Structures are given as structure tokens and as C-alpha cells.
Amino acid sequence: MHKTSAWPLALTYTALIVYASLYPFADWRNQGIAPWAFLAAPLPRYWTGFDVVANVLGYAPLGFLLALSGLRSGNRSRHQRAILVATVAAALLSLLMETLQSYLPARVASSVDLALNFLGAWGGAVLAWMLEKMGAIDRWSQFRSRWFIADARGALALLALWPVALLFPASLPFGLGQVLERTEEWLAEVLVDTPFLDWLPLREVELQPLIPGAELFCVMLGALIPCLLGFCIIRALGQRAAFLVGILAVGVCATALSAALSYGPSHAWAWLNPPVQTGIGVAAVLSVMLLPLPRRGCAALLLLALALQLSLLNQAPTGAYFAQTLQTWEQGRFIRFHGLAQWLGWIWPYAALIYVLVRVSRHEERD
């Protein structure tokens, strides 16, 4: 029986909910009220449809993934209580988040949010149960057996998260993992007025923008990386070709949605300029040439592509326009979604790098 990808996805989504619920992690203090006082507080006088939808939809995927983990566990006793366990677990997480928000002046704990989170988790769990009863999950398992190798859940989880990671605005299309500049600024703020600040390694020269050729190369690598990751777990050549078309289309659409959220719908395709088109086209051609490559070779090329892209991106600054875009995402109604997508955009390539290294090392041990 295949190990389900729902469990690692559920853990990842839980971590993102924790981040989104407690962002910005600043000015923690005891406000002189019991952390559970919000349960008996009057209902909020002001709320918007966006708040209701965000709270319901925010927990629906968690309920769905937790219930799916139980339904695909192979333990029949878990199947009967999958909805209950998933809903209760998500509700307890929501209760913990609302309680901790009582110590954050920038956040407001609310019993309405708790109820909406509970409703969303229950709806997601019921949806998973209905799909299981309708046989949709079994059909997915059969499809997975035909297309993917047995130990594919890590790569499938990464591929499922890749479009979400692209929703966080990047300085270059498909340019995930550009964290060096922000990490240095964060460390400098944390270590200010301490002797450890002198230990912080400083560059002798400032970061220089990438030349056009390097930008095109980074876009090409960014589009090629998910293709190679899929090739590492897909069985047949024809299936690889179909996956190649699908994953590139998903990546382009996710990047367009990110641009629409950042700059407005009229600018959804402004990023798709000739250099970016060339980079995507080169990635597609290279992927077609690599279709017959064995999985071990795909893993080796994937490690090389990840290392090259991360090295190039982190030797360049983010740019003034990009910083202005981040301010748009970090304010107003983008605040929660910003927290969900931000960390995925930062850590996805590093998680993929670790996954491939572990996978290759396991194969070497077997050999």
C-alpha cells in the first residue's frame, strides 16, 4: 500500500496556519485579560465577507488533509472516526491560535473566528469522506500506481506546494529561495547592541543586479526544476511528456495569478516578456530532451539546477520595485495570505534540495 502524501501536506499546512495566525510575532505582552476571555466576549460588531470566507476556507484544506490521512492509513478503525478526529484536531489548533492571539496587541481573538475555522475544517473533512465513498480517492490511488513509483509522496507533496509557493511575489519569475539579503537584515536587527554583531560575516561589496543573460538562465532553471522533480518519480516516457506540459502550464498560471494579486488583473501577464518567454521555452526544450533520462540522472541534474539557481539568485538584490510589492502584500487583507505563501516561496527549493539529497543517499545505501 502506498504511503499517502496527505500527512506531510497536513503538517506543512499546519505550520503555515500557525505562522499566519501569529504574524507579525511582535510585541508579545500580557494584556491583563484571561487568554480564553474571548469565548465569552460579545460578538464583534464589524466584520466583512472577506473575513468570513478567509476563516472558513483557511481551515478547510487542513480538515480535508487530516481526514484524508486517516482514510488512507489502511486502519479501518480510523476510517470511521476520520471526520471527528480531523475536525477536533483542527478546532483545537484554532483554539490554541486564538488563545495565543490574546497576547498579541496586533491581533484580535474572536469566538466567531473559532466557529468559522471549525466549520471550515468540518467541511473539508466531510468532503474528503464523500470523495472516499464515491471512489474518487481509490481512482487517484490507481492513477498514482500507474504513473508514479511507490515511494513518491515527498515529491508529490513538493509538486503540490510549488504553485502555492509561486503565489508569493518573486523578484524573477520562478525565482524561489532568494533569502540571503533578508536573512542578513534580520540577523543584523536581532544582534544589534550585542557583541555577536561583530561576528556576522559582512560582504566586502554590495549585491549586484543580475545581467539579462543570468536572469534568463534563472528563469529557465526555475521552470526546469519542477519538471526534473516529476521525472524522478514518474514511470513512463509518455507520462513524463504529459506531466511536462501540465506542470509548466500550472506554473505560468500561478505566476500570472501572483501578478494579478500584486499589481491588478490588467497586469497579470506583464511579467511574460520576451526574456521570460525564452527562458520558459528553453526549459521546455531541455525537458523534452531529458524525457528518456533515468530517474537517478534526473535527480543528479535536479541537484545541480537547484544549486545553480539558488547561488545566482542569492548573489543579487531584490530591487526597489520588488520591495514595494512586498509592502502591498504585507498590509491590509493580504496579511494572512502573505504569511501562508511567503515561507513556501522562501523554503521550497531548500526543501526540494534536502529531499533529493536524502533520496539519492538512500539509493546509494541500497546499492
pLDDT at 337: 52
pLDDT at 219: 93
Copy the grid coordinates of residue 262.
Answer: 500584486
pLDDT at 212: 84
How far does Cα 311 stand from its chain's mean position? 21
CB 112 within 8 A of CB 40: no
Q: Which residue has the cell 476556507?
A: 57
CB 224 within 8 A of CB 291: no
Report the first-to-last Cα separation within the chain, whole angstroms.
24
* AA letter at 21: S
Q: Which of 138-142, 167-171, 310-314, 336-340 has the lowest mean pLDDT?
A: 336-340
Higher pLDDT, 228 or 48: 228
Q: What's the rounded Cα separation, in Å, for the pair 342 and 55?
A: 19
Q: Which of 267-271, 305-309, 349-353, 361-365 has the lowest mean pLDDT?
A: 361-365
pLDDT at 37: 75
Q: What's the rounded Cα separation, in Å, for the pair 127 and 68?
A: 9
Q: What's the rounded Cα separation, in Å, for the pair 222 and 216?
A: 10
* Percent helix / strand / coil, the chain, rounded to 5: 70, 0, 25
Higher pLDDT, 205 or 120: 120
The full set of domain ranges for the chain reads 6-147, 156-366
Q: What's the rounded Cα separation, in Å, for the pair 128 and 65?
A: 8
> What pTM was estimated for this model as a whole?
0.71
pLDDT digits (tens, 9 = 90+) for 75-122: 555 666 888 888 899 989 988 988 888 887 777 777 788 888 889 999
Query: To which H or E segment does residue 158 belong?
Result: helix 153-167
